[in-house]
Amino acid sequence: MRTDSIGQIQIAPCRRTSSVVAIVTYAALVCVALAPLSCIPRPAVPPGMVVVGARPLPTVVEGDRLFVAPVTEGGDTLLLSVETGNGTSMIYAAAAERMNLELVPLVSGADTAWLVDLPPLSPETDIPPLVEMPDVGTRFFVFPADADGEDGFLGQSWLAGRTWILDYPESRIWLIPPGALPEHTQGQVKLGFLTDVAGRRVLNVPRIRVNVGGDSIDLVLDTGASAVLTDSALAVLGGTSRLRGASFVTLSTLERWRREHPDWMVVENADARTEMPMIRVPSLEIGGQLAGAVWFIAAPDERFSARASRLTDRPVSGALGGNALRHFSVTLDYEHAIAIFERRP
pLDDT tens digits, residue range 303-329? 999 889 999 999 999 999 999 999 999
pLDDT in tens, the chain (345 residues): 223 333 333 333 344 444 444 433 343 334 433 333 332 233 333 333 456 678 899 999 999 999 999 999 999 999 999 999 998 999 999 999 999 999 999 998 899 999 999 999 999 999 999 999 889 999 999 998 778 899 999 999 999 999 999 999 999 999 998 877 766 667 889 999 999 999 999 999 999 999 998 889 999 999 999 999 999 999 999 988 999 999 999 999 999 999 999 999 999 999 999 999 999 999 999 988 998 899 999 999 999 998 899 999 999 999 999 999 999 999 999 999 999 999 877
pTM across the whole model: 0.85
- What amino acid occupies position 191? L
Rounded to 5°, angle at Cα 308 from 306 and 314 = 90
What is each CA distance from 101 to 94, 97, 169, in whole angstroms?
10, 6, 35
Ordered by where they begin, the domains of the chain are 4-176 (2.40.70), 188-343 (2.40.70)
- CA–CA separation, 80 vs 69, rounded Å? 6
Residues in the chain: 345
Three-state DSSP state, 185: coil
